[in-house]
């Protein structure tokens, strides 16, 4: 829809199937389908991108979709395109880039990290996937949205400021006490590269794997 001459498209993030339904009903132009592998806020359902993508594409085959959560390589892009996505979104891969504005200590976590070095804890809005450190060691995970709403009733302004302060710490380079958003795809990232090199490499690898997959179709 064009309003006031604008051609901006509204893609809403959908970390759960029921939320994808709500987004479509609200008239979005597309969906960013993100599974629990991804860094940052996730849903209480903890459904992987692989499964969530299948659910969304089956129900909304004509809806433009960006796959998110667990993507950092050409193999991932090839898989997403094969499943019906038009693109992928990558957070951790671009955090570990030379052009990234984040603190070097934050970026340097990624190349040597394993996929199991992240965990889900209670976030500001919902469960959030963070790199394991002293902060996550002292934060548990609420079991449901209802439980989260109960705990929020007791939050004070001072509590919220304290929580947000831990996210600020990460951007200042305190990766021990800070809340460090990273996804499981860090296990597939082995270097800090320039953004053009990252994009070129992923595209070339995706083409290679898509061509290989096409040979299985007779």
At 191 the pLDDT is 98
| pLDDT band, residue 3 (cuts 50/70/90) | low
Asked whether 214 and 172 are in contact (CB, 8 A), the reply is: no
| pLDDT band, residue 154 (cuts 50/70/90) | confident
At 218 the pLDDT is 78
Q: Report the distance separating Cα 55 and Cα 160, nearest Å.
A: 35
87 Cβ contact partners less than 8 Å away, ≥ 6 residues apart: 66, 67, 80
CA distances to 90, 99, 100 from 73, rounded to whole Å, are 9, 18, 18
Q: Is the Cα torsion angle 186, 100, 65, 211 positive or negative in sign?
A: negative
At 179 the pLDDT is 97
Both tokens assigned to 103 = 């603190």
Model pLDDT for residues 19-30, shown as the tens digit of each residue = 999 999 999 999
Strands 65-68 and 87-89: parallel
- Residue % of the chain over a pLDDT of 70: 98
CA distances to 1, 69, 89, 133 from 24, rounded to whole Å, are 14, 20, 19, 38
At 216 the pLDDT is 92
SS3 of residue 12 by DSSP: strand
pLDDT higher than threshold 90 for residue 143:
no
Q: Report the distance separating Cα 162 and Cα 22, nearest Å.
A: 32
pLDDT higher than threshold 90 for residue 4:
no
What is this structure's pTM? 0.91
Average pLDDT score, the chain: 95
Q: Report the distance separating Cα 161 and Cα 177, nearest Å.
A: 15
- Residue % of the chain over a pLDDT of 90: 86
Residues 134-141 have a mean pLDDT of: 95
Residues 183-199 have a mean pLDDT of: 98
96: DSSP letter? T
Where along the chain do its domains lie? Answer: 11-214
Please tell me the CATH code under which domain 11-214 is placed.
3.20.20.70
Q: At what angle do helices 195-214 and 74-83 cross, to 10 degrees?
A: 50
At 1 the pLDDT is 46
| pLDDT band, residue 5 (cuts 50/70/90) | low
Cα-to-chain-centroid distance, residue 34: 6
Model pLDDT for residues 68-126, shown as the tens digit of each residue = 999 999 999 999 999 999 999 999 999 999 999 999 999 999 999 999 999 999 998 89
pLDDT higher than threshold 60 for residue 199:
yes
pLDDT higher than threshold 50 for residue 139:
yes
């Amino acid at each position: 829809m064009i309003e006031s001459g604008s051609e901006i498209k509204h893609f809403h993030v959908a970390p759960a199937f029921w939320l994808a339904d709500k987004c479509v009903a609200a008239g979005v132009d597309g969906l960013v389908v993100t599974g629990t592998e991804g860094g940052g806020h996730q849903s209480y359902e903890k459904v992987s991108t692989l499964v969530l993508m299948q659910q969304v594409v089956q129900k909304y085959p004509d809806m433009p979709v960006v796959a998110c959560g667990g993507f950092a390589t050409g193999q991932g892009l090839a898989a997403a395109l094969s499943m019906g996505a038009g693109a992928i979104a990558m957070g951790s891969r671009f955090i570990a880039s030379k052009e990234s504005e984040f603190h070097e200590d934050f970026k340097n976590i990624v190349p040597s990290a394993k996929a199991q070095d992240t965990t889900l804890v209670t976030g500001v809005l919902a469960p959030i996937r963070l790199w394991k450190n002293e902060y996550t060691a002292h934060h548990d995970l609420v079991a449901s949205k209802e439980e989260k709403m109960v705990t929020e009733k007791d939050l004070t302004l001072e509590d919220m400021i304290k929580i947000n302060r831990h996210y600020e710490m990460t951007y200042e380079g305190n990766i021990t006490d800070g809340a460090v958003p990273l996804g499981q795809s860090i296990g597939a990232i082995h270097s800090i590269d320039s953004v053009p090199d990252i994009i070129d490499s992923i595209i070339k690898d995706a083409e290679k794997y898509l061509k290989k997959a096409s040979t299985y179709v007779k």
